[in-house]
Chains A and B, each alone.
Chain A
Amino acid sequence: MSIFVDENTKVIVQGLTGGQGSFHGLRNRDYGTKVVGGVTPGKGGTDVDGIPVFNTVAEAVAATGATASFVVVPPKFAADAIIEAAQGGITFIVSITEGIPAHDEARVYNRLVEEFPGVRLLGPNCPGIISPGKCNIGITSGDIALAGGPVGIVSRSGTLTYQALHELSQQGIGQTTCVGIGGDPVPGTNFIDCLAAFEADPETKAVMMIGEIGGSEEERAAEWIKAHMTKPVVAYVAGVTAPAGRKMGHAGAIISGSKGTAQAKMAALSEAGVHVCLNPTEAGEKMVEIVRAL
């Protein structure tokens, strides 16, 4: 099984007619994802390589029965696009946009929670989600993933998500689902959401978790793992050598005072029984060892 999406998930792409939207939307379709429509205001009635384009999300949902949306729009329009998706009946929204103002993210997150409790937002500023062989929504290169499980991956960093997939796939270890939750301060989906879903998924036997400096999500995940997780977890936290007070690229990746350091996160995870590794390769090797011993 997979979490959040599967081979039946119908996806629309908001921004399909743009450069990034068409490149990744078509790649997602080529991977086998059911990309059933696109949305670009003013371009309804046209198509992108055979994928029909609609003026609004509501029209697209009515015509196609889509339940998921891949939102590929610039930061300025991202908040409105996400809300439009929820209003239009989409229940799983993937937002890859980097650079959305934090206040917009906070408003969107709380609006979704209050007005659309059944909607899950993944991102913003994330690579998306891939259930190998079934569904790929986002910008992950599908060929680095391997179908068949048994590992679930959850990561705060885009490129490290690819690295994690690559480390496992090269060793012949498949993945059930790989979720990139993104590196922004207000992620719609967090580590615990994904850990809980993996814990409940019978085909996922172990979880790889990639964290990074900033915030306290890894520490909260560690508490949750300690209390609820029965499956083995391997973790890597990026930014051991990051200096304090400098944002390391992601809006959320900043060590403020003594808070948010990689060391503190690694200690909390270790204490919760997680196998903490010092680099992505070591994490991959550890996971291979765990899976082979299952």
Chain B
Amino acid sequence: MDLFEYQGKQYFSRFDIPVSPGGVADTVEEALSVAARVGFPVVVKAQVKVGGRGKAGGVKLATNEDEVRTHAGAILGLDIKGHVVKRLWVEHASDIEKEYYASFTLDRPNKVHLGMLSAQGGVEIEVVAEENPDAIAMLQIDPLVGLDVATARRWVAEAGLDEEARAQAAELLVKLYTCYVEGDCDLAEVNPLILTPDGRVHALDAKVTLDENAAFRHPEWEEFRATETEDPREKMAKEKGLNYIGLDGTVGIIANGAGLAMSTLDVVNQVGGSAANFLDIGGGANADVMAAALEVINTDPKVKSIFVNIFGGITRVDEVAKGVIEALSRVTITAPIVLRLDGTNAVEGRAILASHLNDRLLTEPTMLDAARRAVAFANQ
């Protein structure tokens, strides 16, 4: 789960990472009241989960109330790459002496944590990595050892941070690492991390991605979930325990397992169709889950046919078959359904479906045959 900047900063604050004083505003009036509280000048920042908001006019400096009114009014409702701004973060504007970059993420090839620190912050780190890789000081961190202040001190020196920033930066990096680990982040990134002319180091931005698998030990994440701006169908699917991603095509896809679901998308594409969604019912899905999957897809008006691609393992095909029949008895499924069923209890599953098959509910022996049939229906 990606956090908004303001949520990332609030998350940082829990770990004692210094950020600029600021507040959330959903209206121009709220923006004015935050500005009055934190003191002018302020920066009015669009809260969207997409990069490039500065270029799109989503970040503005305001030195007085009139400017806050103008900028907040203009930014609220602004469409930034398809994301409409509903919320602002208004914070006291910092004087900037230097901009750095710092982040922690998982180093997948080496299976340790990776800290990245650069004296060239404020720009996209991918660009720095491409054009001047030596400007990024990489630090591999053994998860069993962690990051201590002594190591962080060597690291800030190696990255070439200014002398006056080093002690504070080292301390901040240890806190950021703690936030990354104890806060179960996939990514904790500060860009820019700034040094002010009066010699203070703090986080001017916050990019945090939380590992949803760790939600069971973070009840406090509920508040972040409440603001997730999801496609309503994705939200409905998640509530039913399904892994759904909406796409643009016309063939509704239901598969068990992420790999098979991805592969189903690929195959539908190869035989001349296009998928309306990715939907993985997960491992061990029962009839209820299968029925819910069909119901979710059924709410998508783009869907012209439904391809159910199941290879039973931990998922039992008889349960899938029961779910299909259950869904058909509960709601009217408008699109024809093509099923391909193999694996655990496939024989039992096919037997359950046998008496229900007709020209709108049919089975095909292979994944490719079923894809062709579903695409033919969709392209009719």
Chain A residues in contact with chain B, CB under 8 A? 20, 24, 75-76, 96, 98-104, 106-107, 109-111, 114, 127, 139-141, 144, 155-163, 166, 183, 185-186, 210, 212-213, 215-217, 220, 236, 238-243, 246, 248-253, 257, 262, 278-281
Contact = CB atoms under 8 A, between A and B. Distances in A.
A24 B314 contact: yes
Interface residues of B, number: 51
A111 B130 CA distance: 34
Nearest to A157: B259
Given A102-B186, A279-B263, 10 more contacts: A20-B314, A24-B314, A141-B312, A144-B342, A144-B343, A210-B259, A216-B108, A249-B257, A262-B266, A278-B266
B343 A162 contact: yes
A102 B263 contact: no
A185 B106 contact: yes
A213 B245 CA distance: 16
B111 interface: yes
Contacts of A107: 143-144
Contact of B259 (A141, A212, A246): A212
Interface in B41-70: none
Contact of A158 (B126, B243, B283): B283
A159 B257 CA distance: 6
A140 B366 CA distance: 19
Q: Nearest 8 A-B pairs (CB), nearest first?
A: A157-B259, A249-B258, A159-B257, A159-B260, A101-B214, A160-B259, A238-B262, A249-B280
A248 B313 contact: no
A96 B278 CA distance: 23
B213 A75 contact: yes
B282 interface: yes
Nearest to B243: A249
Contact of B258 (A102, A104, A109, A183): A183
Given A103-B143, A158-B257, A238-B259, A127 B313 contact: yes
Contacts of B278: 242, 246, 248-249
A106 B113 contact: yes
B196 interface: no
A278 B257 CA distance: 19
B266 A239 contact: yes
A162 B247 contact: no
A163 B314 contact: no
B266 A240 contact: yes
Nearest to A99: B213
29 contacts: A75-B216, A76-B217, A96-B314, A101-B213, A102-B213, A107-B143, A110-B144, A157-B259, A157-B262, A158-B259, A158-B283, A159-B313, A160-B260, A163-B367, A186-B106, A212-B259, A215-B108, A216-B108, A216-B109, A238-B263, A238-B266, A240-B266, A243-B247, A248-B261, A248-B262, A249-B261, A250-B258, A279-B367, A281-B366
A262 B262 CA distance: 11
A111 B283 contact: no
Given A75-B213, A110-B142, A158 B262 contact: no
Nearest to A240: B266
Contacts of A262: 266
Interface stretch (B15-23, B267-275, B296-304): B267-275
B95 interface: no
Contact of B112 (A99, A106, A139, A251): A106
Given A278-B266, A279-B368, A101 B342 contact: no
A146 to B, nearest CB: 15
Contacts of A257: 126
Q: Interface on chain B toward A: helix, strand, loop, or mixed SS?
A: mixed
Contact of A163 (B186, B275, B283, B311): B311
Contacts of B217: 76, 101
Interface string B213-239: 110110000000000000000000000
Contact of B144 (A102, A104, A111, A248): A111
Name the residue in A210, A252, A279 with the highest tally of chain B Cβ atoms < 10 Å from its Cβ. A279
B255 interface: yes
Contacts of A186: 106, 108, 111
B211 interface: yes
Contact of A166 (B109, B211, B342): B342
B265 interface: yes
B184 interface: yes
B259 A156 contact: yes
A114 to B, nearest CB: 7
A162 B342 contact: yes
Interface string B84-119: 000000000000000000000010110111000000
A121 to B, nearest CB: 11
B120 interface: no
A141 B317 CA distance: 11
A48 B366 CA distance: 37
B367 A213 contact: no
A162 B245 CA distance: 24
Nearest to B281: A249
A280 B113 CA distance: 34
Given A106-B106, A249-B243, A281 B258 contact: no
A140 B343 CA distance: 9
Name the residue in A109, A158, A210 with the highest tally of chain B Cβ atoms < 10 Å from its Cβ. A158
Contact of A246 (B142, B143, B245, B255): B245
A10 B337 CA distance: 44
A160 B258 CA distance: 9
A279 B266 contact: yes
A141 B106 contact: no
A65 to B, nearest CB: 28
Contact of A279 (B144, B270, B284, B314): B270
A183 B283 CA distance: 13
A253 B262 contact: yes
Interface string B334-358: 0000000011100000000000000
Interface string B162-202: 00000000000000000001001010000000000000000
A159 B213 contact: no
